[in-house]
Structure 1
Amino acid sequence: MSTPGVGSRVGPMTGRPRDPAVDAAIRAAVTEIVERDGYRGLSMEGIAAVSGVSKQTVYRRYRSKGEVVLDTLGGIAATRLPTPDTGSLLGDLTVLLTATFEAQRTVSGTLNRALAAEALQDPEFGALLWERLIKVRREAVRELLARGRERGEVVHPNDDHLIDLVFGPMWYRLLFDVPSLTWDYAAELARSVTLVARGGKGPGHSRN
C-alpha cells in the first residue's frame, strides 16, 4: 500500500491562499469516513463527496489520501494534544500521555496504524510521516525534558532515549492492538520515564 509521489514534497502545495473552512471540511470528512468505513474505505473521491468540496480542490491541496490523513492527524494533535506545564516532569508527562492515549482510542488510533503500515511500504512516505507528525510530537516532549532539566529533575544524558521511552510503548500497543492504553497505564508509564530521567532516583533528589 504505497503512496506514489508523496515524498517529492514536504510542504503544502503552492497557489492561492487556502480557505480554512475548506480544510476543516476535508478533515471532518476524513474523520467521518474512517469512523464509518475504516481506512480502507477512504478515497479522494469519497472525501470530496462527504466534504462537499470538489475533487479538483482536494487534489490541489493533497497528492494522495496519505497526505490528507497526515494533515487531519496534525490538526487533531494541535487541538487535542497539549504541551503541558504543570511545574514538574511527572505532572507534565502524565498529562501528555493521558491525552495521547485518549486520542488513540478514537479515530486517531486507526489512522496512526494505517499510516505506520503505509510508511513501511513506502520509505518516502515514512520520511514525510516522521517530519510532519512524529517529529512534532517528539519535540513537544523534548520541551518538557528541557524544563525538567532546568529544575534538576532530568539527569539522564540522552533526551532521544527518554522520548523513545515515552512513545515506544504506545506504538507497540497501538500496532499490535493491545487494549491497554488506559489512564492508569499513562500514569504508570509517566512514573517510569520520570524515574529513568532522574537517574533512577525518586522525588526529592537533584543533581547535587
Structure 2
Amino acid sequence: MVKRILVPLPSCHLHFFLDIVTELEYNYKTKKRKENIMELYLVVLAFVTGFGLPIVAIFASIAQGKSTVTALEAIGRQPEAAPRAQLALVIGLALIEALVIYTLLAFFLVLSKLPSVEDVLKLSETQAIAKAMAIPVAPAKVLVETPSNTTLDANGTASTTLTVRVFDGNGNPLKGQVIAMTADNGTITSPAKDNRDGSYTTLYTASNQPGKVDVRATAINGVFGGVTLTLQ
C-alpha cells in the first residue's frame, strides 16, 4: 500500500503579491486625475503591475503544482524514495520562491528609479513657465512724459532729457524694448536708453528753426507715443 504524504505548498509569495497589487490599485484609484502628460505614465505603470506580476505568480503556481505532482507520483511508484522526493520538492519550491522574490525586487527597483507623478508634473509646469517666459511680450502702450519745460531756445544747443515709459497689456512696465526716437527738427538720440525698469531716456537738442517740434517714440511693433515741444 502506498503511503500518502502531504507536502505543504508555500503560498507566502502569493499573499505578498496580492497585497502589493491591492496597494497599487488603491494608490491609483485615490489619485486625482492629472494633466494629459501623465496619462501615458500611469498606463504603463498599470500595465506592468496589472499584467506583469500576475503572470509571474501564475507561472510560479504552475511550477509548484507540477513539482508537487511529480514528487507524489515518484513516491507512489517507489515508497522507499520518499525522502529523496521530498528533498527534491523542497529544493524546487525554494528555487521557485527565490525566483518570485527576485522578480519582485527587480520590479520595485525599476519602479523606484521612475520619477513620481508629482516630480513629472513639477517638471512639466517648470518647462511651461520657462516657455511662457521665453515668449516676448509686445508693448501695448508707449508714453512720452511731458518735460518740465516744453519751450526751448532755437539756438542749436538747448537740450532737454525726455523719459519714455513702455507698458504691456496689463499695465506692467516693460524693459528690454527697442524704442526708436524721431523729431521733426533738431537732433535726438535713438534708440532711447533702456533703464531696465520699464523707462527709457533720450536727449533732444534744439535746432535753429523756431516752431513746433513733434517728438515720437515708437516700439518695434509699431506702438508709439509722443510729445510736442516749442522752439523760440
TM-score, normalised on structure 1?
0.22
The structure with more strand, counted as a fraction of residues: 2
Q: Indicate the structure (1 or 2) with the bigger Cα radius of gyration.
A: 2
Higher relative contact order (CA 8 A, sep 6+): 1
Tell me the TM-score normalised to structure 2 length. Answer: 0.20
